[in-house]
Structure 1
Amino acid sequence: MFMGLFDGTIDFYRQYRPGIPAIVADVLDAAVPDCQPRRLLDVGTGTGLVVEALLGRFDDIIAIDSDPGMLAAAEDALRPQLPADAQLRLQEVTAEEFTPPAGWQAELVTICRAFHWLDQAATLTRLDAQVSPDGAVAIFADNSFWTATNGWKAAIRTVIQDFLGEERRAGESLFQHHHRPYSEIMRESPFSQVEEYAVPVIRTWTADSILGYLHSTSFAAPQLFGDRLDAFDSAVRATLARYSDTDTFTEDNEFLIRIGRRDRRDR
């Protein structure tokens, strides 16, 4: 799933990837019943940003990722914050191969900024046995900088393309675009009853944090530039300077959340 895509990015990922806003966590929390125990499965957890946002709302958490470095960073970040009455298990495994403990079913499965890396139909089919009868699967993401929604983002993307080529990279390979809406894919799965929520997000960046974010991605990871990394960083800074005299860059973004449940007639 992720192995190799994020080599060299982990320190940048934890520090510069935007976290999950509280309002998004509220939507996820409200999507499933309040019960005891309340179980969460976070797929493609990375450095644990989703789990961090939902700490205190679920007391039995399994977070999976196929990148051991990401999981180590998640362990370091999450373990000190874990409530005393909560259980957290981090597992190095892909979504396509994960099997929960016997009898364990999640009230909520979260897949944030990761669904495009998965065998989507196969993952949703496997989750049918891993989600409680009244549980839900939440697939959600905000837009990356590759999706240019304003002038300075478009200019940054052009700099990346100047250094790495026109096509979006995914580590050493090219990114494989998925053109079908996720809701459509979900409606063909066991979680066919889909609700969508759009949560606006406004962020403020600096040149340093923009570069940190870029180096956390699979399309601008540091190792992709080789001995041209310093030249790339300088080009990004020079480009951004044309858009702000105060090193302040505003981004209008949104989280699009898709929550899928089983058809009640199938329960």
Structure 2
Amino acid sequence: MTSSSGEPAAAALGEALFGTTAVDYSRYRPGIPDPAVRLLAATLHGVPAPALLDLGTGTGQVPRALLPALPRLARVDLVDVNPAMLDQAMSDLQPLLEGRTATAFAGAAHTFTPQQPEVRADLITCCRAFHWMDRPAVLEMADQVAAPHAVVAVMGDGSLWTHTADWTTALKELIQTYLGESRRAGTTGTYTQPARSYEDDLAASPFSDVREYRFPVTRAWRPESVIGYLRSTSFARPDHFADRHPAFEAEARDLLAAYAKGGILREDAVFTVLTARRPKAAS
């Protein structure tokens, strides 16, 4: 397991977006649904010792799901702007590697350079992070490091900010009473929706053969796990609230307890996976 670093400004951005929330991120962020894991594994059919490049890895949810499901996965490269997240990811992955290679690159995704340029990525993934990136530049980089048959998979399922259940709507309104109407984006300001869809980003890239897969997901949250999740987000991390954070968490616990049924808060989401290949690879 080895590490390398990109430009210092990327680390500052990682700190600005998510601060030092790696432990909460690892513990409370939802993992990758099993059907999506099977889809990703299937893209590597026939590749004897595949290499995975996971962009915006956070604490490594994608490789944590794929390593047990795909024993022949030989190499994992993790990329994130937040060094603390990468440290947590490398620690979490250690028991799963069983002799396989893992490297960490701290920097913006589009600046990634492989430590072994001769090893080409067979699968490039980006989960719940593509919106933070310079997407055309990321896809140009991917074209340089990907094997001819490689698949790029962009995936996600929104967040509790975007979910529209009664309890998430009430929780969002509570956050807004403390922080204002606009969604925070760490200490960088407020969040701006990407100007074009991920499908259009991919279609304009060398990986223009795009397919969409949608997997319904039902999650059962407990109030305390929602509180932990919020601490890991760019929109409700504790330092946004300063000395009012204890008061916010107390109100949030009361709100969530009022909505919970049998101690459970239900989230019905859709996990979407976009797979993209170079056109000649799809033929």
Per the alignment, residue 19 of structure 1 pairs with: 31
Larger deviation: 255-264 or 30-39? 30-39
Per the alignment, residue 111 of structure 2 pairs with: 97
Aligned with residue 161 of structure 1, among 173, 176, 187: 176
Structure 2 unmatched runs, 5+: 1-9
1:3, distance to aligned residue in structure 2 (A): 3.5
Structure 1 unmatched runs, 5+: none
| Aligned-residue RMSD, C-alpha | 1.6
The percentage of aligned residue pairs carrying the same residue is 39
1:266, distance to aligned residue in structure 2 (A): 9.9
Aligned with residue 34 of structure 1, among 18, 33, 46: 46
Per the alignment, residue 205 of structure 1 pairs with: 221
Letter in 2 for 1:128: D
Letter in 2 for 1:83: E
Per the alignment, residue 247 of structure 1 pairs with: 263
Letter in 2 for 1:48: G
- Report Cα offsets for 1:191-242 as digits up to 9, x if no partner: 0000000011111011100111111100001111111111111111222233
**Residue 221 (1) aligns with residue 237 (2):** yes
How far apart are the structure 2 equivalents of 1:266 and 1:50? 24
**Residue 88 (1) aligns with residue 102 (2):** yes
Per residue, is there more helix in 1 or in 2?
A: 2
**Residue 137 (1) aligns with residue 152 (2):** yes
Q: Secondary structure at the match of 2:54?
A: strand
Runs of 4+ residues over 4 Å off in structure 1 = none
How far apart are the structure 1 equivalents of 2:172 and 2:243? 20
1:24, distance to aligned residue in structure 2 (A): 1.2
CA contact (8 A) 1:33 1:134 kept: no
1:31-180 correspondence runs (5 A): 31-56=43-68, 57=70, 58-84=73-99, 86-100=100-114, 101-172=116-187, 173-180=189-196
Change (3 A) 1:72 1:132: same
Per the alignment, residue 193 of structure 1 pairs with: 209
How far apart are the structure 2 equivalents of 1:165 and 1:184? 32
Letter in 2 for 1:18: P
Letter in 2 for 1:55: L
1:179, distance to aligned residue in structure 2 (A): 4.0
Aligned with residue 237 of structure 1, among 253, 269, 273: 253
- Report Cα offsets for 1:28-68 as digits up to 9, x if no partner: 11123332321100011111111100104211111111211
Letter in 1 for 2:144: A
Change (3 A) 1:260 1:266: closer
Per the alignment, residue 8 of structure 1 pairs with: 20
Q: How many residues align structurally?
A: 266
1:245, distance to aligned residue in structure 2 (A): 5.0
1:88, distance to aligned residue in structure 2 (A): 1.1
Letter in 1 for 2:220: T
